[in-house]
């Protein structure tokens, strides 16, 4: 874990987000908003039975919220939705590989919250 | 060359604030968030500790030495606050902060003064605490809330107010100093327009009372709300000033112990003002801390503090505007509050990078969502100053904003 949260990987995902944009076809859509920061994330998920076949996102906000969405969407493609529904803070922190302060945790967790709310709706 | 304040010996002042002895990581603390809360001098901390060590007991309750001492200290604090803003002591109500002060008086006004069909004017410059209560209660009781909108520069235009005010306007609720843009509103002129139209004027003084001399009688303010923690005192203590003739007319909005003179099974009679507005055991040590804070502010001199901050504000504007991609908000002449954005970098990212250098600034919407909307932004980064800030603090800020740009290039 690095004490500087703006490590190369995070900044790379922030400047060049993967899976960014609204796809033409998707099965589930959800957007969430973090009122404290103004961070916004929308996710578009295409399912093949229980498997996340494709996922894309749009949004704007701080580097952490946007990089986390990019990294997470890359990671969960091809995974079972039941597995994703179990994800918590621990899994996201491992994926990001940085130490997030309590006050910025909401930014880091916005994308998983949006995805889980999409899958549970 | 190190720039020195013409008005304050800041290095000496800093020695009175224990927090500046600690480090943030390996860095000295550069605290630029006094609009959010101020730090406390040792005299304020001692006043609280002394109260608990020597005089702790409830006020207006026990007939014994400690309670008499606590009551005397508490009521002396009230008198000191009254003198500080040019009021009478029976016009000073202790609350838990600006938000509670406004909510409390709003509920009283709605229950016993305002009527359905009346109009209230507020602005889109307000902190949510001087906006949401009026919005909620106006809807609930069938009043009309009218928004006096700021100009592009972030000022309130008095001509616009003249057009908005009608014979139905019963209250104008406006901030003295904007917590985002640093706009200093012409309270005396607004009060004149209000009174000419038989309207009351309520001032949110959270950002002004700690920084500039206010006299409620000279400005002819009907209602003033402010917080202790932004003026060197502790959190959880605030002040509500209301003119005596209004206090006599309105009902309390909180009921229980301490605020009554007599209770029967059928009815209750209220205590005299101001006590009828102070239900329950008050924040005694908070009131005592405000008294110590006022002593400290008076010793330094509020005019010196105000002039010092105006200098810092001008210096900061001139320095920050030179940073490519940096946009400043608000009027040219402003109090010690500077809001800006740096390219598209999110204010929380700016705050996090600055924190690694020991610099504390605030990022976000600052509890002013209608204002953010009018500026077409989600938030700003804000630096705000007080008596313990130096020109060097601003130079650090400017220097490390360049580092922020480097990180997000």
Q: Give the domain ranges of chain B.
A: 10-31+301-407, 45-298
Backbone angles phi, psi at B115, to 5 degrees: -125, 160
Q: Using CB atoms, pick whichever of A4, A38, A101 lies closest to residue B378.
A: A38
Is B368 designated active site? Answer: no
Helices A105-120 and A89-96 pack at an angle, to 10 degrees, of 120
- Chain B CB contacts of A37 under 8 Å are 346, 348, 364, 379
- Chain B CB contacts of A11 under 8 Å are 407-408
Q: Which residues of B189-221 are buried (b: 16+ CB within 10 A; e: fewer)?
A: ebbebbeebebbbbbbbbbbbbbbbbebeebbb
Q: How far is B366 from chain A (nearest CA, A)?
A: 9
Query: Do the beta carbons of residue B13 and residue B364 sit within 8 Å?
Result: no
Q: Do B346 and A63 touch (CB under 8 A)?
A: yes
Whether A3 is covered by a domain: the verdict is no
Backbone angles phi, psi at B143, to 5 degrees: -105, 165
Domain B10-31+301-407 matches domain B45-298 at the CATH topology level: no
Distance set, CA B168 to CA A34, B120, B333 (Å): 39, 8, 34
Whether A2 is covered by a domain: the verdict is no
pLDDT tier at A2, thresholds 50, 70, 90: very low
Distance in angstroms (rounded) separating the CA atoms of residues B22 and B336 = 24
CB proximity list for B252: less than 8 A, separation 6 or greater: B108, B259, B270, B276, B277, B279
CA-nearest of B74, B387, B2, B339 to B181 is B339
Q: Do B349 and A62 touch (CB under 8 A)?
A: yes
Cis peptide before A105 (omega within 30 of 0): no
Token representation of residue B112: 């016993």
Q: What is the reported pLDDT for A35?
A: 82
Query: Do the beta carbons of residue B155 and residue B374 sit within 8 Å?
Result: no
Q: What is the reported pLDDT for B259?
A: 95
Q: Is A33 helix (H, G, I), strand (E, B) or coil?
A: strand
Whether A48 is covered by a domain: the verdict is yes
Whether A116 is covered by a domain: the verdict is yes
Complex-level ipTM: 0.87
B74-113 pLDDT, tens per residue?
Answer: 999 999 999 999 999 999 999 999 999 999 999 999 999 9
End-to-end Cα, chain B, rounded Å: 31
CA-nearest of B50, B49, B41 to B19 is B41
pLDDT mean across residues, chain A: 93
Strands (E), B81-222: 92-95, 119-123, 144-148, 169-175, 200-204
* Cβ count within 10 A of residue A84: 20
B187-211 pLDDT, tens per residue?
Answer: 999 999 999 999 999 999 999 999 9
One pLDDT digit (tens) per residue for chain B, 409 residues: 788 999 999 999 999 999 999 999 999 999 999 999 999 999 999 999 999 999 999 998 778 999 999 999 999 999 999 999 999 999 999 999 999 999 999 999 999 999 999 999 999 999 999 999 999 999 999 999 999 999 999 999 999 999 999 999 999 999 999 999 999 999 999 999 999 999 999 999 999 999 999 999 999 999 999 999 999 999 999 999 999 999 999 999 999 999 999 999 999 999 999 999 999 999 999 999 999 999 999 999 999 999 999 999 999 999 999 999 999 999 999 999 999 999 999 999 999 999 999 999 999 999 999 999 999 998 999 999 999 999 999 999 999 999 999 999 8
Query: Domain count of chain A?
Result: 1
Distance set, CA B362 to CA A23, A57, A76, B4, B322 (Å): 36, 29, 34, 25, 21
- H-run or E-run covering A59: strand A51-60
- H-run or E-run covering B369: helix B369-375
Q: A44 is in which domain, residue-wise? A: 8-120
Q: Do A36 and B379 touch (CB under 8 A)?
A: no
Q: What is the CATH number of domain B10-31+301-407?
A: 3.90.1150.10
Q: How far is B378 from chain A (nearest CA, A)?
A: 6
B41-77 pLDDT, tens per residue?
Answer: 999 999 999 999 999 999 987 789 999 999 999 999 9
Fold (CATH) for B45-298:
3.40.640
Q: Do A64 and B349 touch (CB under 8 A)?
A: yes
Whether A1 is covered by a domain: the verdict is no
- Chain B CB contacts of A39 under 8 Å are 346
Q: Is B116 helix (H, G, I), strand (E, B) or coil?
A: coil
A3-31 pLDDT, tens per residue?
Answer: 589 999 999 999 999 999 999 999 999 99
Whether A53 is covered by a domain: the verdict is yes
CB proximity list for B142: less than 8 A, separation 6 or greater: B116, B117
With 70 as the cut, is the pLDDT of residue A1 above it?
Answer: no
* CATH code for position A17: 3.90.1010.10
Whether A47 is covered by a domain: the verdict is yes
């Amino acid at each position: 874990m690095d004490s500087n949260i703006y490590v190369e990987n995070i900044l790379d995902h922030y400047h060049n987000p993967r899976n960014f944009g609204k796809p033409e076809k998707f099965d589930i859509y959800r957007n969430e908003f973090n009122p404290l920061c103004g961070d916004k994330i929308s996710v578009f998920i295409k399912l093949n039975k229980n498997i996340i076949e494709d996922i894309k996102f749009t949004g704007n906000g701080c580097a952490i919220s946007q990089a986390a969405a990019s990294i997470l969407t890359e990671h969960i493609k091809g995974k079972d939705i039941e597995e994703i529904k179990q994800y918590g803070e621990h899994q996201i922190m491992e994926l990001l590989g940085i130490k997030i302060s309590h006050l910025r945790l909401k930014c880091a967790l916005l994308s998983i919250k949006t995805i889980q709310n999409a899958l549970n709706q | 060359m190190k720039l020195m304040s013409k008005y304050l010996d800041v290095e000496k002042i800093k020695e009175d604030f224990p927090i500046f002895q600690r480090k943030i990581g390996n860095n000295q603390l550069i605290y630029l968030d006094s609009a959010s809360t101020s730090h406390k001098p040792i005299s304020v901390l001692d006043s609280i500790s002394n109260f608990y060590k020597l005089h702790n007991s409830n006020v207006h309750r026990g007939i014994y030495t400690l309670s008499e001492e606590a009551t005397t200290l508490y009521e002396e604090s009230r008198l000191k606050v009254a003198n500080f803003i040019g009021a009478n002591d029976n016009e000073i109500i202790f609350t838990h902060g600006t938000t509670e002060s406004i909510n409390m008086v709003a509920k009283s006004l709605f229950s016993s003064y305002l009527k359905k069909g009346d109009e209230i004017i507020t602005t889109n410059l307000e902190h949510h605490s001087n906006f949401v209560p009026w919005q909620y209660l106006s809807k609930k009781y069938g009043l009309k809330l009218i928004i006096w909108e700021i100009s592009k520069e972030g000022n309130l235009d008095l001509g616009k107010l003249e057009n908005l005010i009608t014979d139905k306007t019963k209250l104008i609720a406006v901030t003295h100093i904007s917590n985002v843009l640093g706009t200093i509103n012409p309270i005396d002129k607004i009060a004149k327009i209000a009174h000419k139209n038989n309207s009351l004027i309520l001032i949110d003084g959270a950002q002004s009372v700690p920084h500039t001399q206010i006299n409620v009688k000279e400005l002819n303010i009907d209602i003033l709300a402010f917080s202790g923690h932004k003026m060197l005192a502790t959190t959880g203590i605030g002040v509500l000033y209301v003119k005596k003739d209004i206090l006599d007319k309105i009902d309390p909005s909180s009921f229980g112990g301490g605020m009554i003179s007599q209770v029967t099974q059928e009815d209750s009679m209220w205590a005299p003002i101001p006590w009828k507005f102070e239900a329950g055991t008050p924040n005694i040590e908070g009131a005592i801390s405000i008294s110590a804070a006022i002593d400290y502010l008076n010793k330094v001199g509020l005019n010196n503090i105000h002039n010092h901050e105006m200098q810092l504000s001008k210096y900061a504007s001139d320095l920050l505007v030179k940073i490519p991609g940096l946009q400043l908000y608000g009027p040219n002449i402003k109090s010690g509050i500077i809001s800006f954005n740096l390219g598209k970098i999110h204010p929380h990212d700016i705050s996090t990078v600055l924190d690694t250098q020991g610099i504390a600034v605030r990022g976000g919407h600052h509890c002013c969502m209608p204002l953010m909307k009018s500026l077409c932004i989600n938030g700003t980064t804000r630096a705000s100053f007080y008596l313990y800030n130096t020109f060097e603090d601003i130079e650090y800020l400017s220097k490390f904003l360049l580092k922020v740009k480097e990180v997000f290039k």
